[in-house]
């Protein structure tokens, strides 16, 4: 690896634009920063499931995050309502929300570990203080009550369970996509009795693996049957069907393994150096969504300073940059997680603070603000992809887009 590339790709760059930051997440999503870690939002008792909430039901979502350090902090939660394209809907808070504009998040449970101390803030909603009047896309916002600083924002969805969606996935291969496996979702929506003119009022979207920033609108629609609508993703915009994640298992970090090269327990947090990842081959690698991932949800897990090392091969020129993204940083593609080249060990490196657990992650190539999250895939697919279908109704009487139905379905990569 030459000196020119080393100089061009080490450290931060002021040339990055905001378009890079939101490849996986929505532009409205604010990723947490120190001292906030291990942020999760999921249906109660269903970790890793998409944050879907049925309107006027007993369903609840669980928000959980942790603050590094011994001191307790005060946090507040608020909500905004959005259109299918994630622009704000224009509804006033009292039209979509019951309760105060902001509501306190109680608690702050102190950890049992001292490497270092941290506090956990679990919160479930809707509850007696927080509720929702209408369906649609929502953003959850958490502020520090003392400083009024926005700590993070996350999307979730409130749906009405109107009508029925049945979905499947067509598998394609095309030279246009370098003969990779491509998936094209296809769905049938059985209309509710009250919906009379679906061709004017309905819109449909698909997402893959909970990457809401990559959500795509279904453009191929069939309204010929008066009782149902068929909606499909365009053949020109399929999803990558063999989409891969590398998997990091840090559940037994106190012992060296195929994953961990070295541990320094004299530092706080412990310093953990991972074994090399390599372009085109890595162990272990998975595709789609692992059965369980995320931080250890107990109060016994330690926080770690984890150093990733990546061998990107000899074919990188001076222009492209490599970023590290994963569950541990909310898939935020930003300068904070840009990797630097270490000439002494001939590896790209980046350190991340995270809790013990199991995490999905990827190395992403960025060249002239063009994101290539497939550049370092191994192409050893062996499991399934997760998909979601969304049905929206534009309600001209109430001036917002109702989310009538959602559907979660899966497809094997081959």
Q: Quick: pLDDT tens for 3-49.
A: 333 333 333 333 333 345 668 999 889 999 999 999 999 999 899 99
pLDDT of residue 18: 39
Topology agreement, domain 31-159 and domain 164-242+383-412: yes
In terms of phi and psi (left: phi > 0; alpha: psi -120 to 50; beta: otherwise), the region of 10 is beta
Q: For residue 290, is pLDDT > 80?
A: no
What's the DSSP call for residue 2?
A: -
pLDDT classification of 185: cutoffs 50, 70, 90: very high
Alpha-carbon separation of residue 216 from 25, 212, 281, 394 (angstroms): 13, 9, 30, 18
Joined together, the tokens standing for residue 3 give 């000196």
Q: Longest Cα pair distance anywhere in the chain, in angstroms?
A: 69
CATH class of 164-242+383-412: mainly beta
CATH topology of domain 31-159: Immunoglobulin-like (2.60.40)
Q: What was the pLDDT predicted at 42? A: 97
Query: Is the per-residue pLDDT at 268 higher than 60?
Result: yes
3-state helix, strand, coil in the chain (%, to 5): 5, 45, 45
Token look-up 């061009």 returns 8
Average pLDDT over residues 229-244: 92
pTM: 0.92
Note the pLDDT of residue 174: 74
110-154 pLDDT per residue, tens: 998 888 999 999 999 999 999 999 999 999 999 999 999 999 999
Say what the alpha-carbon torsion angle 338, 339, 340, 342 is, to the nearest 10 degrees.
170
Looking at residues 303-327, what average pLDDT do you find?
Answer: 87
- What does pLDDT average to over the chain? 88
At residue 286, the pLDDT reads 67
Those residues with Cβ within 8 angstroms of residue 4's Cβ, 6 or more apart along the chain or in another chain: 318
Please report which confidence band the pLDDT of residue 253 belongs to, taking 50, 70 and 90 as the band edges. Answer: confident
d(CA 13, CA 299): 38
Distance separating alpha carbons of residues 246 and 361, to the nearest angstrom: 5
At 280, is the pLDDT very low, low, confident or very high (cuts 50, 70, 90)? low
Q: Where are the alpha helices (DSSP H) in 68-108?
A: 93-96
Domain ranges of the chain: 3-16+243-372, 31-159, 164-242+383-412
């Amino acid at each position: 690896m030459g000196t020119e590339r080393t100089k061009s790709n080490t450290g931060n760059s002021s040339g990055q634009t905001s378009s890079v930051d939101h490849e996986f997440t929505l532009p409205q999503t604010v990723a947490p920063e120190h001292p906030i870690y291990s942020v999760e939002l999921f249906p109660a008792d269903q970790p890793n499931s998409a944050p879907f909430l049925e309107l006027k039901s007993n369903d609840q979502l669980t928000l959980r995050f942790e603050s590094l350090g011994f001191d307790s902090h005060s946090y507040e939660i608020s909500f905004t309502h959005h259109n299918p394209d994630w622009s704000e809907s224009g509804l006033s808070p009292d039209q979509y929300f019951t309760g105060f504009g902001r509501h306190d998040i109680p608690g702050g449970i102190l950890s049992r570990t001292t490497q270092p101390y941290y506090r956990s803030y679990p919160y479930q909603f809707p509850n007696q203080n927080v509720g929702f009047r209408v369906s649609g896309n929502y953003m959850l916002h958490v502020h520090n009550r003392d400083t009024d600083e926005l700590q993070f924002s996350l999307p979730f969805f409130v749906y009405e369970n109107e009508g029925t969606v049945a979905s499947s996935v067509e598998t394609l291969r095309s030279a246009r996509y370098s003969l990779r496996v491509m998936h094209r979702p296809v769905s049938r929506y059985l209309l509710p009795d009250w919906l009379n003119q679906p061709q004017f009022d309905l819109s449909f979207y698909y997402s893959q693996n909970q990457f809401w920033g990559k959500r795509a609108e279904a453009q191929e629609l069939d309204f010929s049957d008066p009782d149902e609508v068929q909606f499909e993703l365009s053949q020109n915009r399929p999803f990558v069907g063999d989409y891969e994640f590398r998997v990091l298992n840090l559940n037994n970090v106190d012992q060296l393994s195929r994953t961990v090269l070295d541990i320094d327990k004299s530092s706080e947090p412990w310093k953990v150096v991972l074994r090399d990842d390599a372009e085109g081959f890595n162990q272990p690698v998975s595709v789609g969504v692992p059965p369980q991932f995320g931080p250890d949800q107990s109060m016994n897990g330690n926080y770690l300073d984890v150093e990733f090392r990546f061998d990107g091969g000899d074919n990188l020129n001076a222009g492209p940059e490599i970023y590290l993204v994963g569950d541990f940083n909310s898939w935020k593609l930003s300068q904070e997680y840009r990797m630097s080249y270490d000439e002494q060990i001939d590896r790209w490196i980046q350190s991340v603070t995270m809790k013990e657990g199991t995490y999905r992650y990827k190395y992403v190539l960025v060249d002239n603000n063009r994101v290539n999250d497939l550049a370092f895939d191994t192409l050893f697919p062996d499991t399934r992809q997760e998909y979601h279908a969304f049905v929206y109704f534009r309600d001209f009487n109430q001036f917002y887009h109702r989310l009538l139905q959602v559907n979660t379905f899966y497809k094997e990569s081959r």
